[in-house]
Structure 1
Amino acid sequence: NACAIVDSVMDIDYAAGRITHEHADTIIAHIEREGLSLEWIIETHVHADHLSAAPYIQEKLGGKIGIGENILVVQDTFGKIFNEGTEFQRDGSQFDALFGEGDTYSVGGMTCFAMHTPGHTPACMTHVMGDAAFVGDTLFMPDGGSARADFPGGDAATLYDSIQKVLSLPDAMRLFMCHDYGPNGRDIRWETTVAEEKAHNIHVGGGKTKEEFVRFRTERDATLDMPRLILPSLQVNMRAGAVPKDRDGNPMLKVPVNRL
């Protein structure tokens, strides 16, 4: 009856400055209804397009919050961009566990392991649990390709190498996506396999070379807008889902101008 949650979401109406927990409450209700014991709340990386609900869920259900050990790099980079003071610890101490390459952990009686798969961000990890791998923002569905690599600390060549690492897993391994955009109007999907990705991924499948990928990814990224929620997401997620506070203790988000 043990379980883990991967990449939870906290709801925000950015224009109104209002945070709610409808989606997290749905997950909490499911766990309670099924009589499950939450052991881990996993963040595959510091997301730039949604806010983590990890501390809210932990308060309700317990469990340990874990992320890749290179969160320290992300905290240092964005600590400067957001002009955070000395009270913002850049040592990953906001999280309960920092995963390195090959680190193992248990969900009930199942041994899971973490793979360092940077390129989208320096702290990206893929988590392998039984016959399923949660790939974060390395790969998308075969007709969606791959994630962008132009955020601070991102690198297209590194992302290609990380994707090859994921594709070295067994062909039958189920891969769970962080995102899907329904290319060409198809229904949203969230699960594929290593074999499908190797054969059909439009960015890396069919033997595409690193040079081809880097050229395409670099040209493509230059045309993309910043994610709508990147500013609040980074501030919250580099704190393990905690909303920063002003000097009076009120929740407050910053908007650095011309820094990204």
Structure 2
Amino acid sequence: MPQMPEVTGFYDKRSGSIQYVVADSGTKKCALIDPVLDYDEKSGATATTHADSILKFVANKGYVVEWILDTHPHADHFSAADYLKRKTGAPTAIGEKVTEVQKLWSDYYNWPGFPADGSQWDKLFAAGETFQIGNIDARVMFSPGHTLASITYVIGDAAFVHDTLFMPDSGTARADFPGGSAKALWRSIQDILALPDATRLFTGHDYQTGGREPRWESTVAEQKAKNIHISVHRTEAAFVAAREARDRTLAMPKLILHALQINTNAGRLPEPESNGRRYLKIPLNLLEGASWD
């Protein structure tokens, strides 16, 4: 029987994202997946409210953080990986293809000196690489499509599928970001659905379809039977056509140009300038052709 980690999700209503604490309850070791650094784009304010609530939960459970894991560089929220590393001393990790995203976006931001080598993280995982959380076996699946660098963490009987699959009533991730690919997304989804039917799937976002309460856990079997995209578009050609048509109607995430300069740098905020303030850099007219809200 596969090992069953204890999984606790923390929902961020502002971005619709879910952060996870994944624990081996026997050894009290845990990993934090896709933690959020709070950011209000209207005021430019940052806060650590969500990250601190995770730290409080970890402390109350008596857990020790072994890993801080990101599934990909997020486009709709800032990563709290750097903050949590400073608080816990745990190493940060992401998939090794993050270097391709760094190269792409360092050019967009005109950062000629930016180290696009992944050195901002303590560990870059290769496809198929294994590790452990306590005594629970974990491995990495390469899951591109939504981004060039997206990975899935399979931890015991649980798979953290980031933005590849949403809940069955919400379908699948968009694939129109720079470096995205609907064809690659289809292949990544097929790899995930090849896991055992009982595998628990934990998604990276939920947008409360129909006004329901947030949800983030399903199974491979549920996704095969009920996912509103996968159960309808059963061939690669049909899926790609539908996904690309849908993506052409979507506006860009409101924080994409804010977030990628933080998240390609492992959650580090820009260094303060001579007046002591930090500044974001927003390229104008970069993502032309996207729909407007």
Q: Which category of TM-score, normalised to the shorter sequence, fits these structures?
A: over 0.9
Q: Which of 57, 60, 69 matches 1:30?
A: 57
**Which residue is equivalent to 1:113?**
139
Aligned AA (1:115)? M
Is contact 2:233-2:239 (8 Å) kept? Answer: no
Distance 2:105 2:252 in 1: 15
The runs of at least 4 aligned residues of structure 1 exceeding 6 Å deviation read: none
Conserved 8 A contact 2:270-2:280: yes
Give the aligned CA root-mean-square deviation in angstroms: 1.2
Alpha-carbon distance in structure 1 between the residues aligned to 2:212 and 2:236: 28
CA 1:239/1:44 → structure 2, altered by over 3 Å: closer, same or farther?
A: same
* Aligned residue number for residue 160 of structure 2: 134
Question: Which residue in the other structure is 1:81 paired with?
Answer: 108
User: Equivalents in 2 of 1:7, 1:44: separation in Å?
Assistant: 7
How far off is 1:185 after superposition? 2.1
Deviations 1:163-219 (A, max 9, x none): 000000000000001111121222211100000001111111267111111111111
Secondary structure of the corresponding residue to residue 55 of structure 2: helix
For 2:169 and 2:163, the matched residues in 1 are separated by 15
Residue 14 (structure 1) aligned to one of 41, 47, 50: 41
| Partner SS for 2:36 | coil
- In 2, Cα distance between equivalents of 1:245 and 1:84: 14
Instruction: Tell me, in whole angstroms, the C-alpha distance in 1 between the residues paired with 2:40 and 2:65.
Output: 28
SS in structure 2 opposite 1:98?
strand
- In the other structure, the counterpart of 2:10 is none
Structure 2: gaps of 5 or more residues: 1-27, 288-293
The amino acid across from 1:52 in the alignment is S
Q: Equivalent residue for 1:96? A: 122
Could you tell me which residue of structure 2 aligns to residue 44 of structure 1?
A: 71
**AA partner of residue 48 (structure 2):** H
Distance of 2:173 and 2:124 partners within structure 1: 23
Letter matched to residue 235 of structure 1: Q
Higher strand share: 2
SS in 1 for 2:210: helix
Give me the whole-angstrom Cα distance separating, in 2, the residues matched to 1:160 and 1:4. 28
Partner of 1:71: 98
Structure-to-structure mapping, 1:186-205, within 5 angstroms? 186-205=212-231
What is residue 172 of structure 1 aligned with on the other side? 198
Give the whole-Å Cα distance in 2 for the aligned partners of 1:153 and 1:77: 8
Structure 1 residues not aligned, in runs of 5+? none
2:234 to 208, 228, 232: 208
Alpha-carbon offset, residue 35 of structure 1: 1.1
Aligned residues: 259
- Structure 2 CA distance, aligned partners of 1:206 and 1:166? 17
Structure 1 length normalisation: TM-score? 0.97
Separation of aligned partners in 1, 2:277 and 2:43: 16
What is the deviation of 1:54? 0.6
